[in-house]
Structure 1
Amino acid sequence: MTRKLDSKRLVIATHNAGKLKEIGALLAPYGMECLSAGQLGLPEPAETGKTFIENALIKARAAAQASQLPALADDSGLSVAALGGRPGVYTADWAERQWFEGEPGRDWYMAMGKVEGLLCEQGPEVDRSCWFSCVLAIAWPDGDSVVYEGRVNGTFSWPPRGTMGFGYDPVFVPNGRDTTFAQLDPEEKHKISHRADAFAKLVAEQFGG
């Protein structure tokens, strides 16, 4: 039987304000008070996993141990079919500037451009299908954990469009739509995103009857 959250306080293992806002909005209906690892001054663990599940568990367990509260982490990324599933688990790494690319930090436009460049190398008829994956991991201070996985399929679109969302949202057009994630109202995106898919599974098990 899956362990249930018995605390109304939950640490979100992220230093990303956009991710905290999105996760907090999804959990708000269940009376959860969400605090970020950044707000608590918790260190960011090295994400040494080879899969989304491994990285999500690393982050959730580190936050739970450091805060002595249940912690929720997500590891998510974009996988492109024609690139063999890359960038995948290394999605964020593609946005990290190298020493010759400017000051340290993440440049998502640069990351999106890297994907577009690799697709263009394969010619105008290249398969642009891609998918966002999300793994949510809940960890407790005593070491227990549980994992939920979500996915949304779509197409890589260039040039980037939209100012809402974050990361690769401006180049991702979900199947059945003609707008990118970054052009969708956040509430609309919450209904169809990879994170929403994973959250639906989490909510059913954690807050269901």
Structure 2
Amino acid sequence: MRLVLASGNPHKLAELRRALPTLEVDALDRDDAPDEDGATFQENARIKARWGRRHAPPDAWAVGEDSGIEASALDGGPGVRTARWAAGDPVGRMLAALAGADDRGARYVCVMVAIAPDGREAVAEGTLEGSIAREASGGEGFGFDPVFVPAGETETVAVLGDEWKRAHSHRARAAAALRALLAP
């Protein structure tokens, strides 16, 4: 089975390839990507999947993915606006937004929508519960990983490392759910 990720994000592509090692996963990296103007992660993933379906090879499933972080102290924000909210400095922006906040609860969310060549659709979601640390640590991962401490852990995802993330991240969990939906 062949999947085409409707994204040019190399980190997301690498994570999806690692999470789905038995499938061929390629990127559909184009300059005309659609606007992500949905109100939910699923709506944005579906927008990307439908765009991907129009441009993907005829034998491939088109996969749209949307993900972000939801912080309790920010009333679930930044949510679907995560990338725009972070504005190139996700760690600094999050630490500033939560300065002085007692409630550090947060979760990563990832939704994948896959559309088959015949139009069938599969939707998978993965979450990773945790909290935001008071300072950054670690050198692996990307985005909020230097300040995100998963539930049950004492270190950030950036300290736990890419191997840990490969098995436990919100994207890995969504990919596992997608793999189960696509299994023959």
- TM-score scaled by structure 1? 0.81
Q: Which residue of 1 aligns with 2:10?
A: 17
Q: Is the 8 A contact 2:53 2:62 kept in 1?
A: yes
Provide, for residues 7-26 of structure 1, a one-character-per-residue CA deviation record: whole Å limited to 9, x for no partner.
Answer: x2211111111111110111
Q: Is the 8 A contact 2:17 2:25 kept in 1?
A: yes
Corresponding residue to 1:89 among 80, 83, 86: 80
Q: Is the 8 A contact 2:122 2:181 kept in 1?
A: no
Q: Is 2:157 aligned against 1:181?
A: yes
Partner-residue secondary structure (3-state), 2:98: helix
Q: Which residue of 2 aligns with 1:155?
A: 131
Q: Percent same amino acid at aligned positions?
A: 41
Q: Which residue of 2 aligns with 1:104?
A: none
Offset of 1:199 from its aligned partner? Answer: 2.1
Q: Aligned equivalents of 1:207 and 1:141: distance in 2?
A: 16
Q: Is 2:37 aligned against 1:58?
A: no
Q: Aligned equivalents of 2:127 and 2:162: distance in 1?
A: 17
Tell me which protein shows more strand as a share of its residues: 2
Q: Is the 8 A contact 1:65 1:141 kept in 2?
A: no
Q: Is the 8 A contact 1:135 1:148 kept in 2?
A: yes
Provide, for residues 95-117 of structure 1, a one-character-per-residue CA deviation record: whole Å limited to 9, x for no partner.
Answer: 33xxxxxxxxxx1xx23222222
Provide, for residues 73-130 of structure 1, a one-character-per-residue CA deviation record: whole Å limited to 9, x for no partner.
Answer: 211110000110011111101133xxxxxxxxxx1xx23222222222xx35x10010
Q: Is 2:116 aligned against 1:127?
A: no
Greater C-alpha Rg:
1
Q: Aligned equivalents of 2:43 and 2:183: distance in 1?
A: 24
- TM-score scaled by structure 2? 0.91
Q: 1:30-109, aligned counterparts within 5 Å?
A: 30=22, 32-38=23-29, 41=30, 43-67=32-56, 68=58, 69-96=60-87, 107=88
Q: Is the 8 A contact 1:53 1:135 kept in 2?
A: yes
Partner-residue secondary structure (3-state), 1:15: coil
Q: Is the 8 A contact 1:63 1:71 kept in 2?
A: yes
Q: Aligned equivalents of 2:33 and 2:137: distance in 1?
A: 31
Q: Aligned equivalents of 1:14 and 1:94: distance in 2?
A: 19
| Letter paired with 1:200 | A
Q: Is 2:19 aligned against 1:26?
A: yes
Partner-residue secondary structure (3-state), 1:170: coil
Q: Aligned equivalents of 2:159 and 2:128: distance in 1?
A: 16
Q: Aligned equivalents of 1:49 and 1:142: distance in 2?
A: 24
Provide, for residues 39-79 of structure 1, a one-character-per-residue CA deviation record: whole Å limited to 9, x for no partner.
Answer: xx362111010100000011111011112331112111100
Q: Aligned equivalents of 2:122 and 2:2: distance in 1?
A: 17
